[in-house]
């Protein structure tokens, strides 16, 4: 147990409680919000379920949890989840990081990931979620850009010692003061959440929950998108995160009688909307799974009586072709399509409904049930209702094409602004956010182009192409093995190494702390899934 020496201040806020609250500035001529969630916070949803349905199932670990991280599989009721969130949040408040301090979270799909996310919010801080495939290089860039004050992770996820990785990244991120970890073997200088967090409890410290005005308009989440100029923080308010979950919940028709299973790692707005937020809004328990274990997932769909499963689009199509989706009690499948992917054919069999979730980086998402068993619904030009086909349903997002031929979005599913001093998204005075994705208009619908200019998509992760290609040139030069990006049917793009000393190349990449996603692949690697959204 320990802490890092106190370093310089972050991007905002003070070193002690009472720092400046973070509110996104709305575009000058943007239409008024439809009021979704403006008086509600994410934490209030958890408290409501804990009070009204304390013994109901809330969060369920993967059955194979011991294979990839410490601890036996856990199952929590709403009351147990609320109690654990309170315990962790009390310890986090004792760190006195200042109101709305940014706390990085890098977790696999386990119950503690949900606890960490909700505890950060309850403590009066803001979670920024990092992809699990990121390593020291990407983590340090992100932590430095937003001035994160602390980070929460696990001691081990697969063969990777994530607590050690973030500890080394903290050397380059001068604002980071604390690293906390779940798990058994906690490195020196890292606070054990399981064993030592309670020692920091200070009952006199209360959370800074009074934000003034509409509670739902304060920042609740920061995710990360790849842009041509670098990794960009994308901030969302409580209301915008709630709206993202509501869009999916309404389209899938989820209620408290359902059981949701997800394989998406909680580091993107699509994963959080289709998983945790849909669970908090509907009251349906959430069954967590890793993206690489189809056999365990197929078993859990039956043993946990799952009625709605969330999968990457390609995986959903593969499960359907292999007849691995049970006809009972499963009634719907959410197929999440990564940016630039065209929704393909999915025939799940029986009466199972397919809900397509089309993502536009971290800028927004659009959901729709299929018109037929095989055909995905198109993207309307203009207002998009949730659920589709109901003229009385709310319009949570609008679409249009910019003068550059890019798809632009605005509405409750789209960030209303940027972090203070962080012009990450291109948002005009009317609230339109440019996704950078090419599109064209045909018969009242928008046809999406294949990729964003200046962004490489490797697995489910976006990388800034110019910086990545320069990094590859430097790695190739020092190792003598040519490294370049190539189109890949499974991963979108993948790094391939040409002739030369490939061992030296791997050593160069590892020493630089590069993401596992950009390690050079061979033909035998193509069956592995990495970086699921």
pLDDT at 8 over 60: no
Q: Which of 448, 464, 492 marks a domain boundary?
A: 448
Position 372 scores a pLDDT of 59
- What's the confidence (pLDDT) of residue 510? 86
Residue with the larger pLDDT of the pair 525 and 310: 310
Judge if 352 and 293 occupy the same domain.
yes
283 and 411 part of one domain:
yes
In a domain, 212, yes or no: yes
Determine the average pLDDT of the residues in 444-456: 84
Query: Domain boundary residue among 199, 232, 265?
Result: 232
**Are both 271 and 182 inside the same structural domain?**
no
Nearest-angstrom CA–CA distance, 347 and 454: 34
Residue 341 falls inside a structural domain? yes
Domain count of the fold of the chain: 3
Q: Is residue 367 part of a domain?
A: yes
- Is residue 31 in a domain? no
Same domain as 469, residue 495: yes
User: Is residue 5 assigned to a domain?
Assistant: no
Of 379, 345, 377, nearest to 449 (Cα)? 379
Q: What is the CATH number of the domain that holds 258?
A: 3.40.50.12780
Sequence-distant (6+) residues with CB within 8 A of 406 are 434, 435, 436, 437, 438, 439
* 226 and 239 inside one domain: no
Residue with tokens 């304390």, as numbered in its chain:
54
Mean pLDDT computed over every residue of the chain = 85
* Residue 367 sits in the same domain as residue 500: no
9 pLDDT band (50/70/90 cuts)? Answer: very low
Same domain membership, residue 324 and residue 294: yes
Size of the chain in residues: 533
Specify the pLDDT at position 393. Answer: 82
Q: Quick one: pLDDT at residue 457? A: 86
Angle at 258 between CA 256 and CA 260, to 5 degrees: 115
Provide the residue range defining the domain that includes 491.
455-527
Indicate whether 311 and 207 sit together in one domain.
no
Domain boundary among 217, 232, 247: 232
Helix H or strand E encompassing 398: strand 395-401
**Do 202 and 106 share a domain, yes or no?**
yes
Identify any residues that bridge with 260 across adjacent strands, giving them in sequence order.
286, 308
Query: pLDDT tens digit string along 370-415?
Result: 865 667 888 999 999 888 878 888 888 999 999 999 999 999 899 9
Look at phi and psi of residue 509 and say left if phi exceeds 0, alpha if psi is from -120 to 50, else beta.
Answer: alpha
Q: Would 317 be classed as within a structural domain?
A: yes
Is residue 218 included in any domain, yes or no? yes
Say if residue 351 is in the same domain as residue 406: yes
User: Is the distance from CB of 475 to CB of 498 less than 8 angstroms?
Assistant: no
User: What Cα–Cα distance (Å) separates residue 204 from each residue in 96, 123, 207, 219?
Assistant: 12, 13, 10, 25
pLDDT tens-digit series, residues 100-157: 999 999 999 999 999 999 999 999 999 999 999 999 999 999 999 999 999 999 999 9
Q: Same domain for 375 and 259?
A: yes
Beta carbons of 533 and 494 less than 8 angstroms apart: no
Q: Are residues 196 and 137 in the same domain?
A: yes
Question: How many other CB atoms are found less than 10 A from the CB of residue 71?
Answer: 16
Residue 200 lies in a domain: yes
């Amino acid at each position: 147990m320990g802490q890092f020496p106190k370093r310089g201040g972050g991007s905002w806020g003070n070193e002690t409680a009472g720092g400046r609250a973070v509110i996104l500035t709305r575009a000058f001529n943007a239409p008024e919000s439809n009021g979704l969630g403006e008086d509600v916070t994410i934490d209030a949803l958890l408290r409501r379920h804990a009070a009204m349905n304390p013994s109901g199932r809330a969060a369920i670990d993967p059955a194979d949890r011991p294979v990839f991280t410490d601890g036996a599989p856990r199952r929590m009721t709403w009351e147990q989840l609320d109690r654990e969130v309170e315990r962790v949040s009390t310890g986090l408040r004792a760190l006195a990081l200042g109101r709305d301090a940014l706390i990085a979270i890098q977790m696999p799909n386990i119950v503690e990931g949900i606890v960490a996310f909700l505890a950060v919010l309850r403590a009066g801080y803001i979670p920024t979620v990092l992809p699990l495939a990121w390593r020291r290089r990407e983590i340090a860039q992100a932590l430095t850009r937003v001035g994160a004050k602390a980070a929460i992770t696990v001691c081990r996820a697969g063969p990777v010692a994530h607590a050690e990785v973030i500890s080394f990244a903290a050397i380059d991120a001068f604002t980071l003061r604390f690293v906390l970890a779940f798990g058994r073997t906690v490195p020196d200088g890292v606070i054990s959440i399981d064993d030592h967090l309670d020692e920091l409890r200070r009952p006199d410290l209360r959370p800074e929950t009074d934000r003034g005005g509409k509670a739902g308009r304060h920042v609740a989440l920061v995710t990360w998108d790849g842009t041509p100029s670098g990794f960009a923080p994308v901030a969302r308010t409580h209301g915008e995160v709630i709206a993202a979950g509501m869009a999916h919940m309404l389209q899938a028709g989820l209620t408290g009688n359902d059981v949701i299973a997800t394989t998406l790692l909680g580091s993107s707005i699509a994963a959080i909307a289709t998983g945790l937020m849909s669970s908090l809004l509907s009251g349906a328990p959430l069954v967590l799974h890793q993206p690489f274990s189809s056999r365990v997932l197929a078993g859990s769909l039956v043993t946990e009586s799952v009625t709605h499963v969330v999968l990457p689009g390609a995986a959903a199509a593969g499960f359907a072709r292999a007849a691995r989706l049970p006809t009972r009690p499963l009634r719907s499948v959410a197929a999440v399509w990564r940016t630039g992917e065209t929704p393909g054919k999915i025939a799940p069999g029986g009466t199972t409904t397919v809900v397509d979730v089309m993502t536009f980086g971290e800028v927004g998402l659009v959901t729709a049930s299929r018109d037929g068993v095989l055909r995905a619904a198109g993207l309307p030009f203009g207002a998009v209702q949730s659920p589709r086909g109901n003229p009385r349903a709310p319009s949570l997002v609008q679409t249009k094409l910019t003068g550059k031929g890019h798809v632009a979005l605005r509405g409750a599913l789209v960030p209303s602004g940027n972090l203070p001093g962080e012009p990450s998204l291109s948002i005009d005075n009317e609230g339109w956010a440019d996704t950078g994705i090419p599109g064209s208009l045909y018969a009242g619908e928008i046809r999406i182009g294949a990729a964003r200019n200046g962004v490489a998509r490797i697995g489910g992760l976006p990388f800034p192409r110019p910086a990545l290609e320069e990094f590859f040139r430097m790695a190739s030069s020092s190792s003598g093995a040519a490294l370049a990006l190539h189109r890949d049917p499974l991963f979108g793009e993948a790094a391939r190494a040409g002739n030369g000393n490939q061992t030296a190349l791997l050593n160069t990449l590892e020493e630089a702390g590069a993401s596992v996603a950009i390690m050079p692949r061979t033909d035998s690697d193509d069956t592995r899934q990495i970086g699921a959204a």
